[in-house]
Amino acid sequence: MGDVMSNQIRVRFAPSPTGYLHVGGLRTALYNYLYAKKVGGKFILRIEDTDQTRYVEGAVENLINSLKIVGLEFDEGPKVEGDFGPYFQSERTEIYKQHIDELLGKNAAYRCFCTSENLDKMRTEQKAKGLDTRYDGRCRHLSKEKIEQKITNGEKFVVRLKVPQEGEITFYDVVRDKITFPWEMVDDQVLMKSDGFPTYHLANVIDDHLMEISHIIRGEEWLSSVPKHLFLYEQFGWKPPKMAHLPLLLNSDKSKLSKRQGDVAVEDYLAKGFLPETLINFVALLGWHASGDREIFALKELEKEFSLKRVNKAGAVFDIDKLKWMNGQYLRTLELNYIVKKAIPFLDNFTLPADDKLRKIVDFGRNRVSTLAEIENVVKPFFSLPKFDDEAKEIIAKGQNLFKFWVENLEQLDQIRVEDVNNLLKESTKKVGVKGKNLYFPLRLVLFGSVHGPELPEIFEILGKIEILTRFKNVIGNV
């Protein structure tokens, strides 16, 4: 049935809404999105909220918002209704129940009345004996009478999959090619919990089929669950989607990327001043690479370049240094107006000047930082009178004649143009007798608070005549 329905490419990102979008999730979402774009398919967002104990208020909104900020729009999903909804698994429980009944009827699944206490006990015993911890199938062969009796007694039960007990299963992964598992290693997986909600394994198989998903692109942590999923497809008589398991994103110690070792949420990186463009580009390169040396790709370009065939097998360390470098690249090359817009939220400690001046300030800042958040510090001298330490005061003391010379000349100007500044610079050498560092350092120190920094004309242009004079007068005679 599934194989004749349609040959459209449909992929899905199916996160569990536990609070925020993880960068690993972003990478998975991105690859799904890119693959869909590349082949003209559909990108679907499905919310896997079948674990009632992990419900987090606002998590879905948050997730969708993060996806939106980085530009990954989905074709179907929450609030973007398509023909395959609902897109929340918690709203599909009826569907799962029907399918569970089907499996029960086919004797491909069975009810298990074991309590979690009993299961814990079973596992500790198995461990003590050095055995694998696995469900031992004790409820597999309960008689009909016994089952009915337990049900009428009101005993809680789960439904487990009756997986084959011997032999092996081989399947093909788009990224990893041929993979074989012995059935012995596959547990009688719980398909429906005692609260009536399905587990991931059941829901994901049913939904992927019903939503006509053609390719499952997800993290490698799911690889070992594939046998039971495939077995489910077989029991339902469905054709399974193609699978592509992506390499994991790693901490610097090579363990799976986790919160303990730094930020993992997309929103954290955004809050730190990384641009959406950077995040997308960077994460795209963690596990995928074009055939050449190129590393800077806009989302639109990735849509053209991407290919599942070029996805790597080995996990990739999330290297913040390189992220910063790349963010610097985007900060400097993206359109200034856009960067200004992005920078404004990071400048809320200042009273912002008129657009034109703000643009100049941000343009100065963007050229010497790696994140938006760092702009504030670099640009601060434009907003407040400099403070001087002892070393600075020494330089200022020596520069009194120079400052006086500048004030006298500037006061005669209506407006200070770049050429005026350059002229005065030359004049200073002639009339005050200073040049090179002895000329530039004191001026920059007085006007900008540091001997290092922007070129003098740039400072003049941004501060304007009045502020310039204020800053000179601030230090004249004041040593």
**Under rule CB under 7 A, which residues in 359-398 are in contact with RNA?**
367-368
Site for RNA in 410-439 (CB under 7 A): 436-437
Binding mask 38-77 for RNA (x = CB under 7 A): ----------x-xx-xx-----------------------
Which C-beta is closer to RNA: that of 1 or that of 309? 309
Q: Binding of RNA at residue 91 (CB under 7 A)?
A: no
Which C-beta is closer to RNA: that of 204 or that of 214? 204
Site for RNA in 277-316 (CB under 7 A): 285-287, 289, 291-293, 295, 310, 312-316
Q: Binding of RNA at residue 154 (CB under 7 A)?
A: no
Distance (Å, rounded) from C-alpha 68 to C-alpha 252?
28
Q: Binding of RNA at residue 185 (CB under 7 A)?
A: yes
Q: By CB under 7 A, how many residues form the interface with RNA?
A: 88
Return the residue of 182, 237, 262, 433 that touches RNA, per CB under 7 A. 182
Question: What is the arrangement of strands in the sheet containing 177-182, beginning at the earlier edge strand?
Answer: 42-45, 10-13, 215-219, 242-246, 168-173, 177-182
Distance (Å, rounded) from C-alpha 220 to C-alpha 256?
11
- As measured in angstroms, the least distance from the Cβ of 367 to RNA is 5
- As measured in angstroms, the least distance from the Cβ of 241 to RNA is 16
- As measured in angstroms, the least distance from the Cβ of 294 to RNA is 8
- As measured in angstroms, the least distance from the Cβ of 49 to RNA is 8
Site for RNA in 322-341 (CB under 7 A): 322, 324-325, 328-329, 332
Q: Binding of RNA at residue 137 (CB under 7 A)?
A: no
Which C-beta is closer to RNA: that of 4 or that of 129? 129
Which entry of 156, 259, 341, 398 is annotated as an active-site residue?
A: 259
Q: Binding of RNA at residue 135 (CB under 7 A)?
A: yes
Which C-beta is closer to RNA: that of 40 or that of 154? 154
Return the residue of 6, 115, 337, 429 that touches RNA, per CB under 7 A. 115
Which pair of structure tokens corresponds to residue 120? 């814990």
322 catalytically annotated? no
Q: Binding of RNA at residue 150 (CB under 7 A)?
A: no
Q: Binding of RNA at residue 357 (CB under 7 A)?
A: no
Which pair of structure tokens corresponds to residue 393? 């005061």
**CA distances (Å), 34 to each of 44, 276, 295, in order?**
12, 16, 16
Distance (Å, rounded) from C-alpha 86 to C-alpha 95?
11
Which C-beta is closer to RNA: that of 3 or that of 57? 57
Site for RNA in 199-238 (CB under 7 A): 199-201, 220-225
Q: Binding of RNA at residue 142 (CB under 7 A)?
A: no
Site for RNA in 242-261 (CB under 7 A): 247-248, 250, 252-256
- As measured in angstroms, the least distance from the Cβ of 7 to RNA is 27
Site for RNA in 454-473 (CB under 7 A): 454-456
- As measured in angstroms, the least distance from the Cβ of 471 to RNA is 17
- As measured in angstroms, the least distance from the Cβ of 9 to RNA is 22
Which C-beta is closer to RNA: that of 153 or that of 351? 153
- Of 89, 292, 118, 343, the C-alpha closest to 197 is 89
Residues assigned a catalytic role: 259
